[in-house]
Homo-oligomer: A and B are copies of this chain.
Amino acid sequence: MTASGELRALVFDVFGTVVDWRSSLIRQLEAFGAEHGLGEADWAGLVDAWRGRYKPSMEKVRDGRRPWTVLDELHRESLLTLLPDFDLELRLSEPEVDWMVQAWHRLDPWPDVPPGLARLHESFLLAPLSNGNVALMANLKRHAGLPWDCILGAEVARHYKPDPEVYLTGLELLRLAPAQVMLVAAHNYDLAEARRHGMKTAFVHRPTEYGPGQTTDLKAEADWDFVVRDMEELAERLCPPPAVSS
A residues lining the B interface (CB < 8 Å): 70, 72, 125, 127, 133-135, 137-139, 141-142, 148-151, 155-156, 173-176
Contact = CB atoms under 8 A, between A and B. Distances in A.
A141 B149 contact: yes
A interface, by DSSP: helix, strand, loop or mixed?
helix
Contact of A155 (B72, B141, B142, B173): B173
A230 to B, nearest CB: 24
Given A134-B150, A135-B174, 20 more contacts: A125-B138, A125-B139, A125-B142, A133-B173, A133-B175, A134-B173, A134-B174, A135-B150, A135-B173, A135-B175, A137-B150, A138-B149, A138-B150, A138-B174, A139-B149, A141-B150, A142-B149, A148-B150, A150-B151, A156-B173
Contacts of A127: 138
Number of copies: 2
Nearest to A98: B2
Nearest to A170: B134
A148 B126 CA distance: 13
A174 B72 CA distance: 12
A158 to B, nearest CB: 11
Q: Report which residue of A127, A150, A155 has the largest number of chain B beta carbons within 10 angstroms of its beta carbon.
A: A150
Q: Report which residue of A137, A141, A151, A156 has the largest number of chain B beta carbons within 10 angstroms of its beta carbon.
A: A151
A174 B174 CA distance: 21
Contacts of A134: 150, 173-174
11 contacts: A127-B138, A133-B173, A133-B175, A134-B173, A134-B174, A135-B173, A138-B150, A138-B174, A141-B149, A151-B151, A156-B173
A146 to B, nearest CB: 10
Nearest to A155: B173
Nearest to A127: B138
Nearest to A136: B175
Contacts of A135: 150, 173-176
A7 to B, nearest CB: 16
Contacts of A125: 138-139, 142
A204 B150 CA distance: 25
Contacts of A141: 149-150
